[in-house]
Structure 1
Amino acid sequence: MKPEAIQIIRDEHLAISAVLYSLRYLVKEMRRGAAPNFAVLRAILDYIVSYPDRWHHPKEDKYLFAAVRRRTREADGLIARLEREHALGYPMVDELKKQLVAFQSGASGARDAFFTAADRYTELEWEHLRTEEDVFLPIAERVLDAEQWAEIAAAFRENDNPLFGIKPREEAEALYQRILKLAPAPIGFGSNG
């Protein structure tokens, strides 16, 4: 039986992937001439900042990667790469936000710069998620014991930080639902034909 933490991480990856798909879909449609939906683009970037960058990646670094490091040296290079990718994502999202503001204000070249930045970010994140799931998680599953998985699951299950009143899952879920409401349904999704 797979550890609960793996399912939690995969569920979080699925939500992140859905948001990345929405970003990529909107960029593709705008390249074809669709009007920009700045409200949903802002909601997507807010989600990325508030959930993967602020909660998901740091927990992977602090709990999952650290636990594997304590058990084996075989994943050191892979963990270093995944941590670098986490660190790369933060400035990329900042750049995306700046490009979106410039795009919305009509700055020369900002539309294409936003599209390019969005493509780079989504590709990095999707490759990152695939590497975690296809390469890293099998190593973790092999080397970690039930007690370590329980600690990781507990860290990922945390919904609140009582010191600050932060409810990351509630905040992320609200942003995710906002994206779903604002985003147009891709052809073949949510329609009868």
Structure 2
Amino acid sequence: MKHRSLEIIRDEHSSLAAMLQSMRLMVDRGPQDDPRNFFDVLRAMLFYIDEFPERLHHPKETELLFPRVAAAAPEVGMAVARLDHDHEYTEKAVRDIQHLLLGWELLGESRRQRFIDAFHRYVNLYLEHMRLEEQEVLPAAEKHLTEADWRELDAEFEKNCDPLTGKYKPDPVYEKLFTRIVRDAPAPIGLGGS
């Protein structure tokens, strides 16, 4: 049976991975001739990560999905514990990275490498986090959770409506943010520079 929450989780992981890859391309390329746009777009992308994956996606996994999976499939308990730990780390890390980006923008090149190092650690951890979740925890969930579990999970995850998945219109409050990201960020997430 197809579970809507799993589809939503995978869609959100896919859009986040695309966002992280676009950011990595931007960071590796650097500000070039348009530092204002570079910093504006990176700030917008980091703000998106803080607003959507960190405040919407992760809490539902930590509070609803992971405890059920750990109880039903103890063999993935270590993976669940690591994923929960990752959630605690990434919630703080995205704000720290925003601060490091601001330091680079306002204080110049002397702050660039600190940002780059922290950013790459963050991206690598995040991509590994999603891989672990999709290869170990989600298959265990599919195998062991009950229909009652899925009804509740589906109802909660359907409220996410992340526009970067391409399946939902942005909430009017976030419309300017998503327009900026899609217009100015490089592919695969946006239409901006190569």
Q: TM-score, normalised by structure 1?
A: 0.83
Q: Does 1:84 align with 2:85?
A: yes
Measure how far apart 1:38 and its partner are. Answer: 0.8
Counterpart of 2:96, as a letter, is E
Alignment CA distance shift 1:87-1:179 (3 Å): same
1:103 aligned residue: 104
Partner SS state of residue 56, structure 2: helix
Given that 1:85 and 1:128 are in contact with CA atoms closer than 8 Å, whether structure 2 keeps it comes out as yes
Partner SS state of residue 2, structure 2: coil
Counterpart of 2:121, as a letter, is R
* 4+ residue segments displaced more than 2 Å: 33-36, 106-109, 169-178
Aligned residue pair count: 180
Cα separation, 1, equivalents of 2:156 and 2:139: 20
2:184 aligned residue: 182
1:147 aligned residue: 148
1:166 aligned residue: none
Cα separation, 2, equivalents of 1:8 and 1:18: 15
Write the deviation string for residues 23-56 of structure 1: whole angstroms up to 9, x where unpaired.
111011118x564401101101100110111110
Counterpart of 2:147, as a letter, is A
Counterpart of 1:21, as a letter, is Q
2:15 aligned residue: 15
Alignment CA distance shift 1:136-1:159 (3 Å): closer
Cα separation, 1, equivalents of 2:68 and 2:177: 30
Alignment CA distance shift 1:48-1:159 (3 Å): closer
- Name structure 2 gaps, 5 residues minimum: 162-169
Aligned CA RMSD, in angstroms, stands at: 2.4
Measure how far apart 1:145 and its partner are. Answer: 1.8
Counterpart of 1:183, as a letter, is A
Measure how far apart 1:67 and its partner are. Answer: 1.5
Counterpart of 2:76, as a letter, is A
Cα separation, 2, equivalents of 1:129 and 1:173: 26
1:133 aligned residue: 134
- Name structure 1 gaps, 5 residues minimum: 161-168
Given that 2:73 and 2:140 are in contact with CA atoms closer than 8 Å, whether structure 1 keeps it comes out as no
2:167 aligned residue: none
Partner SS state of residue 175, structure 1: helix
Identity %: 38
Counterpart of 2:28, as a letter, is K
Q: TM-score, normalised by structure 2?
A: 0.83
Which has the larger share of helix? 2
